[in-house]
Chain A
Amino acid sequence: ETGVTQTPRHLVMGMTNKKSLKCEQHLGHNAMYWYKQSAKKPLELMFVYSLEERVENNSVPSRFSPECPNSSHLFLHLHTLQPEDSALYLCASSQDPGGHTEAFFGQGTRLTVV
């Protein structure tokens, strides 16, 4: 148990569906992240939020829409996804967004787009 919880753990969705991934952290951290792990590719940062403000958007398509309503919760809203978006989506949090503190990861959501 890392203190970062992601739901759901698995998700299958059609290309016309709208779904949301949820992440919650109980560590009192100020920064939260969404990462994407595609097959045979390195972990790729998608978004960073610090104190509920988006501080980084790593050229992610607009069909992925993040939301951070408070410092403990992070969502990733998905709509009109493509099959190539099938991947493991990991949420993480850290004390600060600068990189001098370690990140704590959730167990991920395995997304399949059909």
Chain B
Amino acid sequence: ILNVEQSPQSLHVQEGDSTNFTCSFPSSNFYALHWYRWETAKSPEALFVMTLNGDEKKKGRISATLNTKEGYSYLYIKGSQPEDSATYLCAFISGGSYIPTFGRGTSLIVHP
């Protein structure tokens, strides 16, 4: 069983604050890491697919970094808005099995 940990479990911030969360995964046999945003009553939505050590990806105010050697990825949100409120999931895919293992997610609530 692969261990994929996300921290913090939940986060409350004020509108305009910048925030970041962590996804930790096994540092061996890395294949890919996915980040998803899951808003209440909606479908999980892909944010990033990261495949190379050192990858940095950006979509608007959201960006992510990847360190496969130490087994972590950071997700950053700059200037949080209430519409950013959601659960952010990461999924680790190892080489060989190609089965995504999801973390429990970080629940972000942005207060106006």
Assess the B49–A102 pair: CB atoms within 8 A. yes
Mark the stretch among B14-22, B78-86, B101-109 that contacts chain A.
Answer: B101-109
Assess the B42–A107 pair: CB atoms within 8 A. yes
A13 at the interface (CB under 8 A from B): no
Those of A53-103 within 8 Å (CB) of chain B:
56, 58, 90, 92, 97-103
* A101 CA / B48 CA spacing, docked (Å): 9
Interface of A is mostly: loop
Those of A4-51 within 8 Å (CB) of chain B:
4, 41-45, 48
Nearest A residue to B44 by beta-carbon distance? Answer: A105
B32 at the interface (CB under 8 A from A): yes
* A2 CA / B36 CA spacing, docked (Å): 13
Assess the B4–A2 pair: CB atoms within 8 A. no
| B44 contacts across to A, CB distance below 8 A | 43, 90, 92, 103, 105
| A108 contacts across to B, CB distance below 8 A | 43
* A74 CA / B42 CA spacing, docked (Å): 20
Nearest A residue to B49 by beta-carbon distance? Answer: A102
* A31 CA / B107 CA spacing, docked (Å): 28
| A43 contacts across to B, CB distance below 8 A | 44, 89, 91, 102
Nearest A residue to B43 by beta-carbon distance? Answer: A105
A-B contact pairs, 8 of them (CB 8 A): A42-B102, A98-B98, A99-B100, A100-B51, A101-B49, A104-B43, A105-B43, A105-B45
Given contacts A99-B98, A105-B43, 13 further A-B contacts (CB under 8 A): A4-B43, A42-B104, A42-B105, A43-B44, A92-B44, A97-B98, A99-B93, A99-B100, A100-B31, A102-B49, A103-B46, A105-B45, A108-B43
